[in-house]
Amino acid sequence: MNNKFCTYETAWCPGCGNFAIIDCLKTALTELGKKPSEVLVAAGIGQAAKTPQYINANAFCGLHGRSLPAAAAAKIANEDLTVIVNTGDGDSYGEGGNHFLHNIRRNIDITHFVHDNQIYGLTKGQASPTSMLGIVTGVQVDGNFNEPLNPVLLAIAAGAGFVARTFSGRKEHLTKIMKAAINYKGYALVDILQPCVSFNKINTFGWYNKRVYELPSDYDSSNKTTAITTAMEFGDKIPIGILYNKEKPVYHRKNRVLSDGIPLLDKPTSQSVVQELLQNYI
Amino acid sequence: MYNLLIGGAAGQGVDTTAAILEKSFKASGYNVFSVKDFMSRVRGGHNFSLIRFGTTEIVSHSTIIDGIIALDDDTVRLHKDRLKASGFILCDIKLQTTDKRAIKINMTQMAKEIGNPRVAGSILVGAILKLFDESLAHIEKVLKTSVKINYLPMNNAAVKAGYNAVKKHFSHINGNYAGHMLISGTEAVAMGAVAAGLKFYSAYPMSPSTGIMEALAAKSNKAEIVVEQAEDEIAAVNMAIGASYAGACSMTGTSGGGFSLMVEALGLSGIAEIPLVVIDVQRPGPATGLPTRTEQSDLLFVKSASQGEFPRMVIALRNAQDAFYQTMRAFDIAERYQMPVILLSDQYLGDALSTVELFDPQRIKPAKPLFSYTGKNEYLRYAYTKSGISPRLIPGKSDQVVIIDSDEHDEQGHITESAEVRTQMVNKRMKKLTGLYHELIEPDFIGNNDFSILLLGWGSIWGPLKEAVDLLNQNTSKKYAALIFGDIYPLPTKLLKEKANQADSIINVEQNATGQLAKLIREETSITIDNSILKYDGRQLSGEEIARQIMGRDVL
């Protein structure tokens, strides 16, 4: 079923949450009827950011923390592309924190899957912006004493129209959320909890599995106040599902040049316009 | 040739008055060249514009003044020593100056009679037109470009009142430049980008580069360009690269501080082979430096910025024509060689207005990437080729996928640590320079073919250096010439070696403290420079000043 998007040998550790995430991504894309050539998977740097290496689709493997601006601009250039960013908590919320905030404001129709294992994997186990208080690492030798960021709460507060949380251990749920996020018209954030088998010995598969619970079917995801309260729940119980979902005007319809729906790269500048603009200087 | 200075505090209307006069003089046939000197503040302080106009080509400002419009006492105090004996100071009666050259008019009273104190600028325009023996034939048309329609009758009346308040001081000379363009370096860069087919410009505001973003935004709806104000320069450059990858002709612009933030992404453009045009409009650094002033001190920085080794090109813009044509060419080179092309401008060039022939956008036809795929085999983004250049396919336009990577990668674009592939990929990228060397443009040679003294410069020093060479050849016994670099990295060396051989003495003239061009030349050619004229106070060298420094005295 995932053949179109192919299977590759990876450099991930056995048991890594990334396997489930990439598997579900391929399933989601296939079920949505996407062709590899119309999908762009962008990433920064990190273990999660290796995702585009292992999927048959257009791939933009850019700089650490900088995948959002590149992906957003690729979407501006060609809105026919389905643009997905797969990258980690360090890349998205640390190095790329400023871009995270401002792409919420832009509301470009891209999907942001954050593989959130609450640790730096590629650099071998330092605290990430979502690491819990007290976690001891090679750098945080006396335990992490900086408050963890709550990315879903932050995204809702900053005005994101689609914010979800899911868990790599619940593949059906993960696929369902991925499809909803890709279908959402606008910037969609999905914070995907995942274990790091090598460097995070606290937030393990079992730790997450014991705590996550699916939002009830009567949960009102269009209510921002409810969403904020629910997003704040992260402890003995961790809600997973679409925390907030509200239609908002997207960048391409707000921008006058793009509002007609013709991809920007298909709008060559006419010579008569150039001539007319030059005449203004005479 | 005349030289007029308009000075006042920020917020007093120096810019608006200067803009109307520049357009009026050009409309009456003059070649106009003007520069701005302003402080980094919105109100107060001292700002001035110098408007030079005549009936031959003008390429440099001059500090010898024929007329001063003084909006405040400071203007008179700061500039009267450089006013010729035959010159005038036009000002309101409330200014304190007792200078014999002062022509005082009661602007407050006149504006009151017309009914609005804000028409004072138009009164001055009228007075200036009379002092320089101009007719009022063009003023209505010019005013329409700067004044809202409701205020037009009032401003026309103010111009007439000013015109009638003074007597002719200088004589009109007939020139043939009415049909030329009057354009700043900033606007010429923006127009070059539009003509090249720019579709996406992302930037973060930073003086003196912001004007490019504003100029493009003003044209964005008509030319169908997306102008995105990014959250920082890192986002700006990564956006430009992302849009370029996806097939939109893209550019970013900044000044040195912002360029510093863009450095890592330059390497991304280099290794991922994604076309990128970046303009650095230089200002004096380091750090915040002098935000609104001029310097040429980023050359050695931009030519080696970013870790690792990858091909790039640096083009220094010399004048408004260069700003247009070299910007167009930068897009062509970036696309054909799939690498970053850095344009170097500065505050002087960006803000200077000059009179130029109508640009011909057909002269350069920038290359385009592939929007369809006809190959039989799977598309390889980084296929090895003889030239090192792999055909660049746009994603989403065929059934192929396009994979780019900031990691070292194989032909397909996938990450690799193979020693063999690494070496082949570095060789592939660096090979692109072989092609580029063949199309480098040699520096402009200006002056006497039988020269014994050779001056060297780059970028915006072109105009002042050209005027200096003319002044020296006309007024001294020795023979002078200059080489002024536009293409500067890789450095074209053919003409340089030839002319350096002929020279008894070589002098580099640069707006920096360390002689960056001289260092680059020594590094690339082993040619050593005998003397330097270096200025780094944030103010541009004029032709007269360069000549004076060479001779150790005034040459005029």
**Is it the case that residue B135 has pLDDT exceeding 90?**
yes
Judged by average pLDDT, the poorest of A51-60, B144-153, B317-326, B379-388 is B144-153
Residues B252 and B334 in one domain: yes
- Provide mean pLDDT across the span B332-342: 98
Q: pLDDT digit string (tens) for A38-95? A: 999 999 999 999 999 999 999 999 999 999 999 999 999 999 999 999 999 999 999 9
Q: What is the pLDDT of residue A26?
A: 97
Domain layout of chain A by residue ranges: 3-279
Q: What is the pLDDT of residue B39?
A: 83
Q: What is the CATH number of the domain that holds B218?
A: 3.40.50.970
Closest-CA residue in chain A for B249?
A265
Scanning B197-344, the segments in alpha helix (DSSP H) are 210-223, 233-245, 256-272, 299-304, 320-337
Q: Which amino acid makes up residue B192?
A: G
Q: State the residue range of the domain holding B145.
A: 2-165
Residues B146 and B274 in one domain: no
DSSP code, position B358? P
Q: Out of A57, A77, A267, whose CB is closest to B401?
A: A57
Q: Out of B238, B248, B413, whose CB is closest to A70?
A: B238
The CATH number given to A3-279 is: 3.40.50.970
Report yes or no: A221 and A151 within 8 Å, Cβ to Cβ: no
Q: pLDDT digit string (tens) for B273-282? A: 999 999 999 9
Contact across the interface for B226 and A264, Cβ inside 8 Å:
yes
Report yes or no: B489 and B333 within 8 Å, Cβ to Cβ: no
Report yes or no: B315 and B280 within 8 Å, Cβ to Cβ: no
Closest-CA residue in chain A for B247?
A265
DSSP code, position B441? P
Q: What is the pLDDT of residue A111?
A: 98
Q: Does the residue B98 lie in any domain?
A: yes
Contact across the interface for A78 and B395, Cβ inside 8 Å:
yes
Q: pLDDT digit string (tens) for A239-250? A: 999 999 999 999
In chain A, residues with a C-beta closer than 8 Å to the C-beta of B403 are: 52, 58-59, 61
- Provide mean pLDDT across the span B276-302: 97
Residues B9 and B132 in one domain: yes
Tell me the nearest-neighbour CA distance from B310 into chain A, angstroms.
16
Backbone angles phi, psi at B26, to 5 degrees: -65, -40
Report yes or no: B367 and B335 within 8 Å, Cβ to Cβ: yes
Q: What is the pLDDT of residue B146?
A: 87
Q: What is the pLDDT of residue B555?
A: 77
Tell me the nearest-neighbour CA distance from B272 into chain A, angstroms.
8
Residues B405 and B545 in one domain: no
Q: What is the pLDDT of residue A150?
A: 98
Q: What is the pLDDT of residue B493?
A: 98
Residue B439's pLDDT band (cuts 50, 70, 90): very high
Q: Cα–Cα distance between B462 and B471 in angstroms, integer?
A: 14
Question: B121 is written with which tokens?
Answer: 């600028």
Q: What is the pLDDT of residue B67?
A: 98
Q: What is the pLDDT of residue B44?
A: 84
Q: Domain tally for chain B? A: 4
Residues B326 and B229 in one domain: yes
Q: Does the residue B177 lie in any domain?
A: no
- Interface probe for A, chosen from B406, B409, B412 (most Cβ of A below 10 Å), is B406
Residue B496's pLDDT band (cuts 50, 70, 90): very high
Q: Does the residue B499 lie in any domain?
A: yes
Residues B382 and B466 in one domain: no
Residues B429 and B329 in one domain: no
Residue B454 CB partners (closer than 8 Å, separation 6+): B480, B481, B482, B483, B499, B500, B502, B503, B505, B506, B507
Report yes or no: A44 and A64 within 8 Å, Cβ to Cβ: yes
- B54: which strand partners? B31
Q: What is the CATH number of the domain that holds B456?
A: 3.40.50.920
Q: pLDDT digit string (tens) for B361-410? A: 999 999 999 999 999 999 999 999 999 999 999 999 999 999 999 999 99
Q: What is the pLDDT of residue A226?
A: 98
Window 349-378 of B, Cβ < 8 Å to A: 358-359, 361-362
Residue B328: strand, helix, or coil:
helix
**Is it the case that residue B556 has pLDDT exceeding 80?**
no
Question: A86 is written with which tokens?
Answer: 């797969």
Helix axes B494-502, B516-525, angle to 10 degrees: 100
DSSP class per residue in B491-554: PP-HHHHHHHHH-SEEEEEESSSS-HHHHHHHHHH-PPPSEEEE--SSSPPPHHHHHHHHHTS-
Q: What is the pLDDT of residue A7?
A: 86
Q: Which amino acid makes up residue A226?
A: T
**Is it the case that residue A3 has pLDDT exceeding 90?**
no
Share of chain A above pLDDT 70, in %: 99
Q: Does the residue B431 lie in any domain?
A: yes
DSSP class per residue in A250-263: -HHHHSTTTTT---
Residues B191 and B340 in one domain: yes
Closest-CA residue in chain A for B245?
A74
DSSP class per residue in A13-75: PTT-THHHHHHHHHHHHHHTT--GGGEEEEE-SSSGGGGGGGSSSEEEE--TT-HHHHHHHHH
Residues B69 and B196 in one domain: no
Q: Does the residue B178 lie in any domain?
A: no
**Is it the case that residue B81 has pLDDT exceeding 80?**
yes
In chain B, residues with a C-beta closer than 8 Å to the C-beta of A40 are: 246, 395-396
In chain A, residues with a C-beta closer than 8 Å to the C-beta of B399 are: 35, 37
Question: B407 is written with which tokens?
Answer: 């990691």
Q: What is the pLDDT of residue B105?
A: 97
Residue B314: strand, helix, or coil:
strand
- Provide mean pLDDT across the span A114-119: 97
Interface predicted TM-score (ipTM) of this complex, two decimals: 0.98
In chain B, residues with a C-beta closer than 8 Å to the C-beta of A264 are: 199-200, 224, 226, 243, 248
Q: Out of A61, A265, A273, whose CB is closest to B405?
A: A61
In chain B, residues with a C-beta closer than 8 Å to the C-beta of A66 are: 234-235, 238, 265
Share of chain B above pLDDT 90, in %: 95
Q: Which helix (H) or strand (E) holds A101?
A: helix A97-106
A238 touches chain B (CB under 8 A): no
Of A94, A102, A109, residue with least CA distance to A49: A94
Window 458-487 of B, Cβ < 8 Å to A: none
Q: Cα–Cα distance between B424 and B388 in angstroms, integer?
A: 10
Residue A85 CB partners (closer than 8 Å, separation 6+): A41, A42, A43, A67, A68, A71, A92, A110, A111, A112, A113
Contact across the interface for A98 and B191, Cβ inside 8 Å:
no
Of B227, B231, B207, residue with least CA distance to B294: B207
Q: Does the residue B176 lie in any domain?
A: no
Judged by average pLDDT, the poorest of A244-248, B108-112, B379-383, B459-463 is B108-112
Contact across the interface for A36 and B401, Cβ inside 8 Å:
yes
Residues B229 and B329 in one domain: yes
A254 touches chain B (CB under 8 A): no
Q: pLDDT digit string (tens) for B175-200? A: 999 999 999 999 999 999 999 999 99
- Greater pLDDT, A260 or B10: A260
B402 touches chain A (CB under 8 A): yes
Inter-chain Cβ pairs, chain A and chain B, closer than 8 A: 188
Residues B85 and B141 in one domain: yes
